[in-house]
Structure 1
Amino acid sequence: MTEEPAPENVEDAEDVAEEATAETANESGSGGPWDSEDDSVPEMQRLDFGSLLVPVAPGLGFQVNFEATQVDDQGKPLDGRPVAVLVQHQESAMQLQVFAAPKRSGIWDDVRAETAKDIQEQAKGQTQEGDGPFGSELLAMVPAALTEDVLAEMPQEVREQIPAEFIEQGWAPQIIRFLGVDGPRWFLQAVVQGAAIEDEEQWQVLEDVLRGVVVVRGDAPMPPRELLELRIPKEFSESQEDGQGDESADQEFKPFERGPEITEVR
């Protein structure tokens, strides 16, 4: 049996360890999310959001969340940048954000701890850590406001299912699931809300999407936790021009409308 040459230094040894870990993960069938440089990325139809390539399938909707970078005198947004991709399926939603990360270490452990602290101190919520299909994750319960305006915007069938005590107190408990994946020089965060928290069928659809995501990190040096650049897929503008949507996905383009996000990576 031919022996592999020994690493010449600590840095080479770390590279060998990283490659071995990646190969083991792929061989075990754990799948993605994937790095764009990985030779094992499976072929499938994906929307190109720049740093994120997201699988499409029947029954999925997509929305880009924007963050205002310029406002007018009344505080209304004039310009902005895309900061997240929202994947919608039936009564469920999953928000995807991708950040730069150090080459030698992941940041999910720190981000998870900071997120839990923010939820407990700022949102007056509760959190619990657990293990999921992508490793450690965070489950949070936060109070969601039930103002008259919020109730008025709800479909009647949804509003009728809300217990009277929640309406009287003006809020209801909302469950949010935070998942994180540390990749080579990137960190991907998924925030799940809606029926997929308890409905296994709806969650399986979102899980398959997350496993099929490809992250395009690029070679440019970036400080850790800086958002990787997102862009609007050409399919969005094309569907707007001809007035028709993509048959494989009910795509929406709503600038400056944020998805289910209650915290941010800092």
Structure 2
Amino acid sequence: MIFGRNRNVRHEQIVLPDELKDARDLEAERAVEPAGADRLGPHDAAARPDRTGYIDLGSLRVKAVQDMKLRLDVEDATQRIVAATVTLGRSALQVQAFSAPRAGGVWDGLRHELADSLATTPGAQVQQVDGPFGPEVHTRVPAAMPDGSPGWNVARFVGVDGPRWFVRGVFHGEAAFQPEAATALEQVFSDLVVVRGDAPLPPRELLPLHPPAGAQPLQRRRRAPEAPAAAETGGSSLPERGPEITEVR
């Protein structure tokens, strides 16, 4: 922030300590982030204007990665696209972008709501831990393996607040319980670019997604591949895919 000593003399620029910054200061800092800055994302479109190498999904731009598969999930009731899922090997990452208020983010409150809701599932194990993107929610829900033996559905929820937007990511498969398997998809999440737009929206409103240019429609649903056992007493599998309309290879 810039303060003037006197209207007739030079201005001085000072750096506020973090504890004195308000939401507008933080938003301004994000908006002027250099395009090549080495920091974790997702990023605002104002700070990442270059679209080279990105797949345009409307409110989200996903950086293309070799061998990745991109799926867009459709809500049955409304037929709108509600999420994008990137699959690499035996891991998957589902991402969604939402509107957020100017002052303060939504992940802190939403994270606790999510943990409380998931904890009501019988036998579920829910933990809040610190990860590369900040606080995360890790869950293990009892489930039957394909051979009928007991196992677990494992998921890892991450969230990042940006200027008037919020992005949630859910890791499934090996990336949900093996850190070394999550590296590539963590980079996909970090490279996301959010196009919030200027339209006024209530907090937590899903930002619109659309198919990318050249997307090929799928004619049927397919079941996701199985993931290996998560532990000696259990396992993990990718959830069954919901309605899907596009896949980009």
TM-score range, shorter chain: 0.7 to 0.9
Output the CA distance in 1 between the equivalents of 2:33 and 2:63: 24
Output the CA distance in 2 between the equivalents of 1:214 and 1:222: 19
Contact 1:64 1:255 in 2 (8 A): no
Query: How big is the shift at 1:21?
Result: 6.2
Alignment partner of 1:19 is 2:39: no
Deviation sequence 1:10-52 (CA, Å, 0-9, x none): xx964234324666898983232110112x5566411111101
2:172 aligns to what? 193
More helix, by proportion: 1
Alignment partner of 1:52 is 2:39: no
Deviation sequence 1:222-249 (CA, Å, 0-9, x none): 1111110010111214x88xxxxxxxxx
Structure 1 gap segments, 5+ residues each: 7-11, 71-79, 152-158, 160-166, 241-253, 259-266
Contact 1:93 1:193 in 2 (8 A): yes
Residues 41 and 31 of structure 1, relative CA distance in 2, 3 Å threshold: farther
2:5 aligns to what? none
Relative contact order higher in (CA < 8 Å, ≥ 6 apart): 1
Query: How big is the shift at 1:173?
Result: 1.5
Q: TM-score under structure 2 normalisation? A: 0.73
Output the CA distance in 2 between the equivalents of 1:98 and 1:21: 17
Residues 17 and 55 of structure 1, relative CA distance in 2, 3 Å threshold: closer
Kindly report the root-mean-square deviation, in angstroms, between the aligned alpha carbons of the 2 structures. Answer: 3.1
1:221 aligns to what? 200
Alignment partner of 1:210 is 2:209: no
Output the CA distance in 1 between the equivalents of 2:36 and 2:28: 12
Q: TM-score under structure 1 normalisation? A: 0.69
Contact 1:52 1:215 in 2 (8 A): yes
Q: Quick one: which of 128, 135, 154 aligns to 1:175?
A: 154
Alignment partner of 1:120 is 2:119: yes
State the AA in 2 paired with 1:49.
Answer: L
Contact 1:34 1:41 in 2 (8 A): no
Output the CA distance in 2 between the equivalents of 1:48 and 1:26: 18
2:226 aligns to what? none
Q: How many residues align?
A: 210
Query: How big is the shift at 1:196?
Result: 1.5
Structure 1, 25-34 or 192-201: larger mean CA deviation: 25-34
2:81 aligns to what? 82
**Identity, % of aligned positions:** 36
User: Moved runs in structure 1, 4+ residues, more than 4 A?
Assistant: 21-28, 40-44
Q: Quick one: which of 63, 66, 69 aligns to 2:71?
A: 63
Structure 1, 200-209 or 135-144: larger mean CA deviation: 200-209
